[in-house]
Each structure stands twice: as C-alpha cells, then as structure tokens.
Amino acid sequence: MSNIGKAFENKKAFIAFITCGDPDLETTVEVVKEAVKNGADLIELGIPFSDPTAEGPTIQGANLRALTGGVTTDKIFDMVKELRKDVSVPMVFMTYANVVFSYGAERFIKTCSEIGIDGIILPDLPYEEKEEFHPVCAKYGVDLISLIAPTSENRIARIAKDAEGFIYVVSSLGVTGTRSEIKTDLESIVKAIRENTDVPCAIGFGISRPEQAKKMADISDGAIVGSAIIKIIEKYGKDSPKYVGEYVKSMKDAIA
Amino acid sequence: MSNQNGRFGIHGGQYIPETLMNAVIELEEAYNHYKNDPEFNKELETLFNEYAGRPSRLYYAEKMTKDLGGAKIYLKREDLNHTGAHKINNVLGQALLAKKMGKTRLIAETGAGQHGVATATAAALMGMECVVFMGEEDTRRQALNVYKMKLLGAEVVPVTTGTATLKDAVSEAMREWTSRISDTHYCLGSVMGPHPFPTIVRDFQAVISKEIKEQILKKEGRLPDVVMACVGGGSNAIGTFYNFIEDKEVQLIGCEAAGRGVDTFETAATIATGKLGIFHGMKSYFCQDEYGQIAPVYSISAGLDYPGIGPEHAYLNDIGRTQYVPVTDDEAVNAFEYLSRTEGIIPAIESSHALAHAMKIAPSMDKDKIIVITISGRGDKDCAAIARYRGENINE
C-alpha cells in the first residue's frame, strides 16, 4: 500500500483541495497546516495552469490569482519542502498534463518523490494516455491517480483494476464547482469499482456542505472538497487559514 | 495518416477528462461507420453541391500574376462558399454525422466568427439547437458575425476568461460539453482537439485539395509547384494540402500569424515560436512559457489568434513535408488591400496571410511555375478592423 492508503485507514477520509499560491504561497502553507490540524486526511495541492479546462469559475479564479501573483512550479516545490517539515498526511499534486510535460516528466516526478509528494492527479490524462507519465511515476513510487466519471460505464472495470493510491470519483457531469444537488447514481459506480479493486475511492465535484460530505463519504471511502475551500480563501485572503480550519472541522466532524 | 490511437507521429492523442472519453469513442465509432456509408456520402455531397455551392472555383489571378511578374497564381475560392468561408465543409459533415448519431444540439467555439456562423447555419438547416462560444474580445472585433449567428437562431455566449479569444472559447466549449453530452455534439472547427476531431475535420476539408487537383489538371495539365494556405489550428491548410501530401514535387507552405513579429510577445506563430506540449486534448506545438503556461497570443486575425497548431501539421513539419512561415499583421493587411485593388476580391484577413507570402515568393519564381493559394474566406467581416488599423473609423 502506498502512503496515500494511510489517509483511508479505518476511517472515512476528508480530502481538501487548495490551489498553491492563492493569494500567495505563505498563505497556502498556513491553510494546509490549519486544514490538517482540523482533520484533513489528505491534501490535494493544485499547481495553477493558465487554461484549466476541467475547472469551474471558482477554481479558474484561484488559478488566475496564483499565476498573476507569480507562482511557478519551482516555487511550489520549495513550498512543499518547507511544508513537509510540519505536515505528515499524504499530499498529492493536482495539475494539468502540460505542467508536468513541459517541466520534463522525469524531472517533475523525481522531484515529487524527493519532496514527499505521494501522487499526481491530472484531469486531462485519461486511461488511454496514462503511458505518457505512468512508467516514470512507477519508477519513482509516485501514484498516478485515476478518475472515474458518471459517463465511464463500461470503462470502470479497466480503470479500477489498474488504479493506485485512491480513485477520484467525479460526482457529476461538468466542471468543478459547488452544486446544490448531486443526482448521479454513485452507489452503482462505487459498487462497480469495488468489484474490481481494493484501492479506496473518494467522491469529489460539487460537495460543499457537511450533509453532502457525509452522504458521499457514506457511499464511498471519502469526500473531496475544492471549490468551497477556494471560496473561503477568495473571501478572506491572507486571513483565510483559520476560516478554512473551522470549515474543515465541520466537514470532518460530519463524515467521521 | 493517423494511426489507431489518433497519433500523427508523436502528436495528437486524447488528453481530455474521463467524462468525455466515451463521447469521443462513440464519435469515432459513428464516424468510422458513416464515412464508408454510400448514403451518408451521397447526402453530404448533395449538401456540398446544392447548399454550399461546391465545387468552389479555381481562379487564375491574371492581373496579380502579371503585376508580380513571376509564377502563375491561382486562387482557390473557398470565399465563394455559402457563409463565405471553408468552414461550411467541415460543419455540414459534422452536423450530418451528429444528426445520424441522434444528437439534437450543436455547440461550437469560434474565433473570427466564421465557424460559428457556419455551425449556426447548419443547425438552422437541420433543425438543431445551437450554442456558440466566442471570446468577448472577438465578439467586439467581429460584431457582424455575432449578429448573423443570432439571426440564424443560435445562442452566442461571450467568453470572458483568459485572453477572451479563440483558445478561451475552445476551453469553454469543452467545459460545456462535459456538462451536457447525451444530446450534444461538439462541432469543433479546426483540425485540433482530441482524436478523432483532427481526422474528421481533415477528411471533410480534404474536398479542397481534391478539387484543386482536378481543376489544375484540367486547366494546366499538370500539378502545381507550390500550394499554400494560412494556418491557425490549420483546417483550411490541411484541406488544401491533404491530396498533395504524396505528390512530393508539390511544395506545401502554411502561413502562420506572426502578429507584430516573431521576435515580440505579440505573435501567434506556433511553429516559429512554440514548443512541444499537451493542451486542448492533443500533443502538438504550443506557444507557452518555460513552466508550460499557455501564452496569451496575438494576431490581427481573430481566426489565427490561437496558441497551438493541429497535430497533423506538427507532424508534417517534423518530417519536413510542409514548410511553415510567419507573416506579420502589416504584411497581411497589405495583401488584403492588394488583392482587393488588383483582382477585385476582398479576402479574409486570415487568407491574406497566405497571399502576403505568395507576394514575397512569386516574383522570383519562373513564369512557368504555378502557385495555388487558398482564399479560405471572404473579407467583408474584416473591413471595419482593417479600416481601424489604417486609422480610419467606419461605422459598421
């Protein structure tokens, strides 16, 4: 089992997504620490991309604010090194294929393993294109996280069988962002996943409220929250760490 | 040219969210079925001929030829198609395919507005719903096309993210597609995006080179020496090149938009200034910074104002089969005015990039050489912007 598995040991996992450098990297460090202190079991660190095609307006805004602030992949690597002195929960990067590709897959993934990044999520890298990065990920022991969507249907078994770390189950059609209601038949999707793998699966996209998180975590092994956290950071800026902490606690308490 | 996984050499592929994978697989299966279906092809040919006005003329530009004093110049008049550009070829093909697949709604991105107008037109003809995503900056540059799309019954969504131009319109159309797949076909306008789009769009545009070949053989009894077209994503260029790729004696030249010059940041010349990357579903060349952030490109031409190039072009460049040259705003505007004055043909500012390069090379070529330039569209839509470029304000 990879380090990521620890996030799911004997409990439902709460996974927090944070865009690095929104509004600056110092704030990101404090937000992560507060989230972990208040119960986040796994941290997804977003490396901003100029054209995040899988994101809704909230996370698009965070990407833009971070890039405008001058954040780069190298500065984020340095930040993670610092963060690892205090934070021991699993951490993964969430970014787009071109960020990894342009840095050089080998150089990027090797650095991930050296600074304590346990996995990578790339929403524009489907199963068919995994070979682009998977051999390098395997070489350095960094999990390449698979996504399964409401439209995956006949693809679920294949994706699940090869999955590692955890499986990111996309709750709804469309892009990231909070939703009042999630209508997908997620029980069936999770059932199909579990028939094919023991790798834990967590549900994300559209989750913002404690009762939604509880419902999703009851069905699966955990809940992933991004846009709702980004909204708090957008609202409070440098003062956001304590507010994110309070929010994470309310979500974690709901699913525990 | 592409292999099973939609690769052109190392380029192409399917770098898209899992949510869209079954949709592109379904599209590929449907396309592979219908492309060999005689009934589908007959219907499409009828639409091409009776509705779009094909075959388009191959016109001998005698005055231009004499004025430049070198190679004989022919213009492939895609500007004479219904809706005024080559875009209709691809759109009629995709709309018909979507209809056969049971889709009732078309979405599209547009830069200059030509692809948007073509998609709105096909949707009106076939009784389908239509939503077009267009960068807000482009809705201002091409206000007339916005009006036309609405007139044709389409909804136009101005995109305000990023640089508010073509790349952002593509991103937004992709986002829309992930949220509504079952009844919706994404009618992509160029030879880009994830497989199978670069192949499908190329096949529907290949009618351009098929006709050029027949027409030039009839007029001149031989193949041309140079065939050229402008390149943004590259759909009119690939259509112009495709049936000549195996004719090694025919030189193929794609003309990229250099904007204010390839040594400035205000350029959209991907082959000249870009590097290998992964974006908008494909591996190809893209204008980007050292960390892979996509560059905010610029060109006077909204249709060429795109930071990437289709994967088949990237491959043709790699193997040296096609040459790509940068052409600046200034050169394109000069060519726009030159063709209007010399031949009484107002070309699209996009096509003017190809004309500008022809004006550079034709004079030094022998008189028995032949150049074919595709005029991808008409220039009515550009008149206000060119007037502004020249410091003149006309009320559209």
- Among B127, B122, B146, B128, smallest CA distance to B136 is for B146
Predicted confidence at residue B3, as pLDDT, reads: 57
Amino acid symbol at B71: A
Interface contact A202, partner B, CB < 8 A: no
Strand partners, A91: A43
Assigned token pair, A142: 């960094």
Nearest-angstrom CA–CA distance, A180 and B43: 45
Please indicate if any CB of chain B lies within 8 Å of the CB of A124.
yes
What digits encode the pLDDT tens for the residues A203-234? 999 999 999 999 999 999 999 999 999 999 99
CA distances from A34 to A16, A27, A228, A233, A244 (A): 11, 10, 16, 13, 7
Residue of B133, B163, B167, B165 lying closest to B149 (CA atoms): B133
Nearest CA in chain B to A155: B22
Amino acid at B99: K
How many CB pairs below 8 A link A and B? Answer: 118
Say yes or no for a CB contact (<8 Å) between A170 and B18. yes
**Token representation of residue A120:** 């990578």
C-alpha span between A230 and A202 (Å, rounded): 19
A126 vs B: CB within 8 A: yes
pLDDT tens digit string along B60-72?
999 999 999 999 9
- In B, minimum Cα distance to A52 occurs at B171
Q: Is A50 on the interface with B (CB under 8 A)?
A: yes
Give the torsion sign (CA, B266, B272, B276, B279): positive
Q: How far is A114 from chain B (nearest CA, A)?
A: 19
Which of A124, A153, A159 is the closest to B15 by Cβ? A124
Query: ∠ CA B204-B209-B215 to the nearest 5 degrees?
Result: 130
pLDDT band at A2 (very low <50, low <70, confident <90, very high): confident
- Asked if A151 and B21 come within 8 Å (Cβ–Cβ), the reply is yes
Looking at CA atoms only, how far is residue B354 from chain A in angstroms? Answer: 29
Report the residue from A53, A54, A98 with minimal CB separation from B277.
Answer: A98
Q: Torsion-angle region of residue B153: left (phi > 0), alpha (psi -120 to 50) or beta?
A: left
Q: How many CB atoms lie within 10 A of CB A130?
A: 16
Cβ–Cβ below 8 Å for A151 and B23? yes
Residues of A whose CB is below 8 A from B18: 123, 126-127, 146-149, 151-152, 155, 159, 170
Structure confidence at residue B282 (pLDDT): 98
Q: Distance (Å, rounded) from C-alpha B257 to C-alpha B231?
A: 8
Most B CBs within 10 Å, among A53, A76, A132, A144, to test the B interface = A53
Is A73 close to B278, i.e. CB distance below 8 A?
no
State residue A1's pLDDT score: 55
- The residue among B206, B309, B295 whose CA lies nearest residue B257 is B309
Query: How far, in Å, CA of A177 to CA of B6, rounded?
Result: 32
Nearest to B279 among A51, A100, A151 (CB): A51
- The count of other CB atoms within 10 Å of the CB of residue A141 is 13
Chain A's closest residue to B182, CA to CA, is A151
Measured from the Cβ of residue B389, the count of other Cβ atoms closer than 10 Å reads 16
Confidence of residue A58 (pLDDT cuts 50, 70, 90): very high
CB contact under 8 A, B17 and A148: no
Q: What is the ipTM of this complex?
A: 0.96
pLDDT of residue B2: 52
Q: Which residues of B touch A153 (CB under 8 A)?
A: 22
Residues 96-115 of A with CB under 8 A from B: 96-103
Tell me how crowded residue A68 is: count the other CB atoms within 10 A of its CB: 12
| Interface contact A53, partner B, CB < 8 A | yes
Low-confidence ranges of chain B (pLDDT < 70): 1-4, 395-396
Centroid of chain to Cα A109: 17
Question: Does the CB of A26 have a partner CB in chain B at under 8 Å?
Answer: no
Evaluated on CA atoms B289, B295, B298, B302, the torsion sign reads: positive
| Contact criterion met (CB < 8 Å) for A127 and B171 | no
Beta carbons within 10 angstroms of residue B195's beta carbon: 27
d(CA A61, nearest CA chain B) in Å: 9
Judging contacts by C-beta atoms under 8 Å, the chain B residues touching residue A127 are: 18, 21
- Residues of B near A (Cβ–Cβ under 8 Å) read 5, 13-23, 161-162, 167-168, 171, 174-175, 178-181, 275-281, 286, 288, 290-294
Task: Name the residues of B annotated as catalytic.
Answer: 87, 109, 376
Give the Cα separation of B228 and A230 in Å (integer).
Answer: 49
Closest CA to B21 of A227, A226, A195, A170: A170
Q: What is the pLDDT of residue A177?
A: 87
Q: How far apart are CA B298 and CA B267, in angstroms?
A: 5
B280 contacts A53? CB cut-off 8 A: yes
Distance from CA of B237 to the nearest CA of A (A): 26
* One-letter amino acid for residue A207 of the chain: I
Contacts of B19 in chain A (CB under 8 A): 149-151, 170, 173-174
> Are the CB atoms for B336 and B347 separated by under 8 Å?
yes
Q: What is the model's pLDDT at position A68?
A: 96
Residue A179's pLDDT band, with cuts at 50, 70 and 90, is confident
| A-chain residues near B5 (CB < 8 A) | 128
Return the pLDDT at B38.
Answer: 98
pTM above 0.95, yes or no: yes
Q: Which long-range contacts (CB under 8 A, 24 or more apart) does B179-183 make?
A: B179/A173, B179/A174, B179/A175, B180/A173, B180/A174, B180/B105, B181/A151, B181/A173, B181/B19, B181/B20, B181/B23, B183/B103, B183/B104, B183/B105
Residue A129 and residue A100: Cα distance in Å, rounded? 14
Across the interface, which of A49, A132, A155 has its CB nearest the CB of B21?
A155
pLDDT of B141 reads 77
pLDDT at A135 over 80: yes
Of the partner residues A54, A74, A103, the one whose CB lies closest to the CB of residue B292: A103
Nearest-CB residue to B15 (from A74, A102, A129): A129
Other Cβ atoms closer than 10 A to B290: 11
The pLDDT score that the predictor gives to residue A178 is 83
Look at A129 and B277 and tell me if their CB atoms are within 8 Å: no
Contact A176, B178 (CB under 8 A): no
Least CA distance to A101: which residue of chain B?
A: B277
Query: Beta strands B275-279 and B281-286: pairing type?
Result: antiparallel
3 state SS for chain B: CCCCCCEECCEEEEECCHHHHHHHHHHHHHHHHHCCCHHHHHHHHHHHHHHCCCCCCEEECHHHHHHHCCCEEEEEEHHHCHHHECHHHHHHHHHHHHHHCCCCEEEEEECCCHHHHHHHHHHHHHCCEEEEEEEHHHHHHCHHHHHHHHHCCCEEEEECCCCCCHHHHHHHHHHHHHHCCCCEEECCCCCCCCCCHHHHHHHHHCHHHHHHHHHHHHHHCCCCCEEEEEECCCHHHHHHHHHHCCCCCCEEEEEEEEECCCCCCCCCCHHHHCEEEEECEEEEEECECCCCCECCCCCCCCCCCCCECCHHHHHHHHCCCEEEEEEEHHHHHHHHHHHHHHHCCCECHHHHHHHHHHHHHHHHCCCCCEEEEEECEECHHHHHHHHHHCCCCCCC
* Contacts of residue A41, Cβ cutoff 8 Å, sequence gap at least 6: A7, A8, A11, A13, A14, A15, A89, A90, A222
Interface test with B, best of A98, A144, A171 (most B CBs within 10 A): A98
Chain B interface includes A155 (CB < 8 A)? yes
- What mean pLDDT do residues A38-63 have? 96
Q: CA of A61: which chain B residue's CA is closest?
A: B161
Cα–Cα distance, B238 to A253 (Å, whole number): 58
Round the CA-based radius of gyration of chain B to a whole number and report it. 19
